[in-house]
Amino acid sequence: MASSAPTPPATGFQAEGRCGYYVEKKKRFCRLVVAAGKRFCGEHAGAAEEENTRKRILCPLDPKHTVYEDQLAKHLKKCNSREKPKPDFFIQDINAGLTDETEVPEQLVPISSLSEEQLENLIKKLRKASEGLSFTLKDQIMSHPALHDALNDPKNGDSATKHLKQQVDGKHRKKNSVFERLQIDIQHLCLNRIPVLSKEKLPVVGIGKHLCGVATDLALRCLVETYAASCEERNEEPLAKRIKNDKTEKEINTLAKEGNEKSVPEKWTPVAGIVIALCCHHRCDWRHYVGKEYFKALGLGAVEFHYFQRMSSWATCGMRKTSLDGSNITTTRKDHQNDDGEEHDDGGYRITDDSVESLPGFLTVEEKKKIGHLCKLLIDQGRIEYLQQKRFSPALQYYTDPLVSLENVLLTALPNHSSSPETTA
């Protein structure tokens, strides 16, 4: 590190109370706040003449920041990059599914490297596998009353209106509500080890807003295998059912007279429902996909899945024109994709390098979009079959207009032969 701060050009000024180190790469002063009486922040303190005797080194846990060499031992104990103790609800790869590496191809060439004949064969397999699937989903576009006034406010422009339509009211004002935020990869999350769930035996409703690609499969397995299966194995009566069984005989007779016997659930289920907004099918992974058995029954495997999930991006990447010559390919993005693109890691809206290379010239733009939607539908159908095998009644529907989000398909699932309990987590 330099012994003194670089000399800044005539343009650019140091903000009051901020670091006096000029960051040459960014052509501006450092914006970190400095301690009283100091000229430089801790990161750039070595640039101050009075601090020259102390050497700063790269942190061994994260080389993106530095630390005083004589304070390294102290820093390592509190560094945010240090390995933290795993919580009780962390179990390595518990929701990863079967990890048979022999099923996963070592290295597959990009779509752009496939011959026209190879690509046509893949598309033929896709269309054959999709025979009999319904391409028309039911519209279930709803809006919360809390948003009505804002949506009808003439002061809001198109962008603000689209943003509001994508919002979920996360402000729960119910008294005595308990909230707990878990910072953990879904792949390692064991729900039945979360204290509030294991203690109270509460049924769960799984809600996911744009769980990108593989995260949807991990979440489904977390709910219907890890949590539901473990609760059934324990065969312990849940709080919701205990409350029902604690009713006096008089109360039950009263319910019977009023014809409300059905309000008492005949069978309780650990997972009361699932609602997931699907997206980013190009981020799916065969190793964790819950619909493997469905694909195998169709004569498909890891290779076909790989190319189908890559081609799924054709449905949303905003292609316009393509040419047989890859160097002449031109692409543009639709205006209405801008707002939603920030919600995802690529979100299916930006064309990745592989997607750009994989635009075959013998297909029209509309054909590519249809193939992309077909890939999404087939992947989602595997999830539907999986949930049905786990005794759920799943469905796919549109939950918003494609002008709001091109990723507008919702996966819902309710347990078979059960009523909704009064208390859910």
Reported as a single tens digit per residue, the pLDDT across 37-53 is 888 887 787 665 555 56
Statement: residue 323 has pLDDT above 50: no
Whether the Cβ atoms of residue 319 and residue 370 lie closer than 8 Å to each other: no
Residue 150 near residue 350 (C-beta atoms within 8 A): no
- CA torsion sign for 28, 34, 40, 46 is negative
What does the pLDDT read at residue 189?
94
Three-class secondary structure of residue 10 per DSSP: coil
> Hey, is 351 helix, strand or coil?
coil
Number of residues that this document lists for the chain: 425
Region for 208 from its dihedrals, namely left if φ exceeds 0, alpha if ψ lies in -120 to 50, beta otherwise: beta
Q: How confident is the model at residue 100 (pLDDT cuts 50, 70, 90)?
A: low
Dig out the tokens for 69 from the structure. Answer: 């060499």
Separation of alpha carbons 227 and 390, rounded Å: 12
pLDDT at 102: 61
Higher pLDDT, 180 or 410: 410
Please state at what angle helix 302-311 crosses helix 365-389, rounded to 10 degrees: 130
Q: Tell me, what's the pLDDT at 353?
A: 37
Dihedral sign computed on CA atoms, order 217, 305, 287, 225: positive
Tell me the C-alpha distance between 137 and 406, whole Å.
14
Q: Is 369 exposed, middle or buried (0-12, 13-18, 19+ CB in 10 A)?
A: middle
